Amino acid sequence: METRQILHHDGARLSYWLSRVKGAKGTLVMLHGLASNHTRWSEFVGSTALTLNWNLLRLDLRGHADSMWHGRLDRKRWVNDLNAILEREALPPAVLLGHSLGAEIALDFTANYPHRVAGLILIDPVFHQNLHGVLGWVRRLQLLLWLPIGFLWLMRGLGFTRRHYPPRDLYALDETTRATLRANPEMKIADLYMNPLADLPYIPLANYLQDLLATVQPLPRLEMINQPVLVLMSGGSSLSDRQRNESQIQRMPYAAIQIVDCDHWPLTEQPATVRDMIDNWCQKLQQPEAVS
């Protein structure tokens, strides 16, 4: 998979990874979630059958990993960044595959550029009104988060913040996490993956807080999403209410739901199951009557 970069008109340098296949049947674009990066998809890319006949594109969202940016971040900017990449590569309408915050970006992109989207695969999409726990509090108190963000921007302007963040291999982290959970059956994955202290060595705090704010913003009108949609939902998500999420998904005219036996991290907890669900759905996409 070839590494590429694009210099956005506002000075942001965006990194992405693209593999092209001659005579490709489709293009799959992968969008990572909060405090993540393109290696979230490394395990999937390394095992999916789609490498044989699909173009595969994954990127580091602005403000993350190799697309580092110290400034305003929101879903609108990420949507525009993705559009710039797709325009540069002259790719045909793509299937957007997003996890959590990445699923929200995929929905926003589809609402803004429907002609560029052939379908959607949403892994545990977030519906802001259904959130509880920490993210529920973030939604209620979101205006207060701009105070520390503004302070952190000021400190950076004065030269008092870090300027380098090491790369993070999420495939390696997933393998370590699975081994830890096998050795400690009483533990839950949320004990390991809902810990900001584990993320902050790899992402500026101001960016992390903006990721949180982006996660709790409203989605576009779901009734306007007319593309075929596959939603992979965790059966035991600790972040929001599953039944209420399903009622939101059903607002999309052509959405199908498949349940994965896990918490909010299906790509970590059930990688083979998720890969097979994605592969099967994508391979059937050329036969719309078979997509379900």
CA gap 107, 114 in Å, rounded:
10
Q: What is the pLDDT of residues 138-197, one digit of tens each?
A: 888 999 999 999 999 999 999 887 778 999 999 999 999 999 999 998 888 888 887 888
pLDDT band at 290 (very low <50, low <70, confident <90, very high): very low
The residues spanned by each domain of the chain are 2-290
Whether 237 shows a pLDDT value over 80: the answer reads no
Instruction: State the greatest distance between any 2 C-alpha atoms of the chain, in Å, as a whole number.
Output: 59
CA gap 167, 155 in Å, rounded:
23
pLDDT of 232 reads 97
Q: What is the pLDDT of residues 104-126, one digit of tens each?
A: 999 999 999 999 999 999 999 98
Considering the domain 2-290, what is its CATH architecture? 3-Layer(aba) Sandwich (3.40)
CA gap 287, 284 in Å, rounded:
5
CA gap 263, 202 in Å, rounded:
23
Query: What number is the average pLDDT over the span 202-230?
Result: 96
Q: Tokens 């705090």 appear where?
A: 205
Structure tokens at 116: 């560029």
Residues 6+ apart with CB under 8 A from 74: 210, 213, 214, 217
Q: What is the pLDDT of residues 134-150, one digit of tens each?
A: 788 888 899 999 999 99
- Enclosing H/E stretch for 215: helix 205-215
The proportion of the chain whose per-residue pLDDT surpasses 70, expressed as a percent, equals: 97
Query: What number is the average pLDDT over the span 265-269?
Result: 93
Whether 14 shows a pLDDT value over 90: the answer reads yes
C-alpha count within 13 angstroms, C-beta hemisphere, residue 91: 28
pLDDT of 194 reads 75
CA gap 150, 180 in Å, rounded:
38
Q: How many angstroms separate the first and last alpha carbons of the chain?
A: 30
Residues forming a β-bridge with 260: 234
Q: What is the pLDDT of residues 26-67, one digit of tens each?
A: 999 999 999 999 999 999 999 999 999 999 999 999 999 999
Instruction: Give me the phi and psi of 268, to 5 degrees please.
Output: -90, -45
